[in-house]
Amino acid sequence: MPPTPTMNWARHLKLTLGIFAATLLALYLFVLAMNPYGNLPNTVLRHHVMTDDNQRYQYPSIVRSGRYDSIIIGTSTSRLLDPKPFEEALGGRFANVAINAGTAWEQTELTKLFLRHQPKPHALVVGIDWVWCAVNADRERITFRGFPEWMYDDNPWNDLAYMLNVKALEIAGRRAGAALGVAKPRLPPDGWEIFTPPERNYDLAKAQAKIYAAGPRNLIDPRVPPAVASAQERANWRFPALDWLEQLIAAGKWQRVLFVLPPVHVMALPPPGTHEALKEQECKSRISAMAERRNIPVIDFRLASDITSRDENYWDPLHYRVAIAERIARGIGAALKSGVDDPGGDWKMLKPPN
C-alpha cells in the first residue's frame, strides 16, 4: 500500500526538524569549542585571542587570565594610555581595560572581577572623568550598548545560555580564522590599542567642527554673575560612584593606587562660574579627601592648560591624539617623582605621593 500524503509530510517534517536540531547542535558545539569571549574553559584552543572589539565582552578574559596584576580602568579618555610607562613608574604587569563610554558601575564590576581572580593585586590606576561625578550614576548604570552581567559573575553555567546567537557565532568564526592564521586579533592581550584614526588622516578643520559643534563660547571669562552654592547645598550633592570607588580601594590589597583625571578639551569642561563647574569642583574636593584618607596620589589634567586649550591636540572634545597620550604618560611619571604641580601647567597634584 503506497504511503499517504499525510505520512509523507510527517516523515519530511521529522527529517527537517532533525536536520535543524543537528545543525543547531553543531553550531553550538563549534561556538563552545572556539570560546569566543574567553569565558569558558579552553578545551580546544589553548589561549584566548580577542577577535571582537566590544570591550565589555572581551575584557573579562583579560582580568581572569592571571597574566596581569595591575590594571588601568576608565573610559575612552584613558584608552590611549600605554601600560608600559605605568609598569616603569609603578611596577607590576599592567593591562589597560578602560571601556569606551564605560559607566562608573561597569568599571566597578570589571575591577571587582579582577580582584576575585588576582589574589595579589599590585596596582590600580583609575582614569577619573565625569562618570565618577555623575549624580545619577546609581540609576543609569549601563548605556544603550548593554552589559553582559552574566559574564561578570562566578557561575560559568549561566554563560551557556548566551552562547548560541548570531553574534557569538560571528566571533567564534573570527576566532577560528585567527587560529588558522587567516584573521588578526581585534585587541591585543593587554587590551591597549590606538583606537583613534591614523595620525596621517588628521584634519584640523574636521576636528574643530566636532569640538565646536555646539557653537563657540568664551572660554576665558567666567560666567557673570557666577553661580554660588552654600556649604549645606554642597554637602547635599550626591556622587554615588565615589562610594563604589572607595570600596574598590578598600577591597583590594593594592600595593599602589593612582588617580588620574584625564584631559579633555576645554570645550568639554563646565564653563567657569556655572553651577556645573561648582559641582565638578566639589567632586574633585571629595576625590582629594578620599585620596588623603587612603594615601593615594591624584594627578589632575582635567583643567585649562596648554594641552586642553589647543584644538590641534584633539580629534573631538574628548579624545586627544597619540602624542598627547605620550605626553600625559611622561607627565604622570614626572608628577610621581616630583610630587608638585607642573611648572608648565599641564597638571596639578591634588594629592601628592608620600
How does pLDDT run across 84-101, given as a tens digit for each residue? 999 999 999 999 999 999
pLDDT at 42: 75
CATH of 58-159+185-351, one of 3.40.50.1110, 3.40.50.300, 1.10.10.10, 3.90.550.10: 3.40.50.1110
The model's confidence at residue 256, banded by pLDDT at 50, 70 and 90, is very high
Kindly give the interhelix angle for 240-251 and 275-294, rounded to the nearest 10 degrees: 20
Q: Where is pLDDT greater, at 63 or 252?
A: 63
State the number of CA atoms in the 13 A half-sphere of 170 facing the CB.
6
Task: Say what the pTM is.
Answer: 0.91
For the chain, domain boundaries: 58-159+185-351
Cβ pair 142, 103 in contact under 8 A: yes
The model's confidence at residue 6, banded by pLDDT at 50, 70 and 90, is low
Any idea what DSSP says for residue 223? P
The model's confidence at residue 217, banded by pLDDT at 50, 70 and 90, is low
HEC string of 289-304? HHHHHHCCCEEECCCC
3 state DSSP class of 351: strand
Give me the percent of the chain exceeding a pLDDT of 70: 96
Give me the percent of the chain exceeding a pLDDT of 90: 71
148-162 mean pLDDT: 91
Cβ pair 251, 112 in contact under 8 A: yes
106-118 mean pLDDT: 96
pLDDT at 218: 54
The grid cell for 247 is 570600596
Q: Where is pLDDT greater, at 261 or 185?
A: 261
Report which of 308, 310, 301 is spatially closest to residue 342, judged by C-alpha positions.
301
How does pLDDT run across 276-314, given as a tens digit for each residue? 999 999 999 999 999 999 999 999 999 999 999 999 999
Cα 41 to Cα 246: distance, rounded to the nearest angstrom: 33
The model's confidence at residue 1, banded by pLDDT at 50, 70 and 90, is low
44-55 mean pLDDT: 86
State the number of CA atoms in the 13 A half-sphere of 114 facing the CB.
31
Which stretches of 65-142 are DSSP H helices? 83-90, 104-117
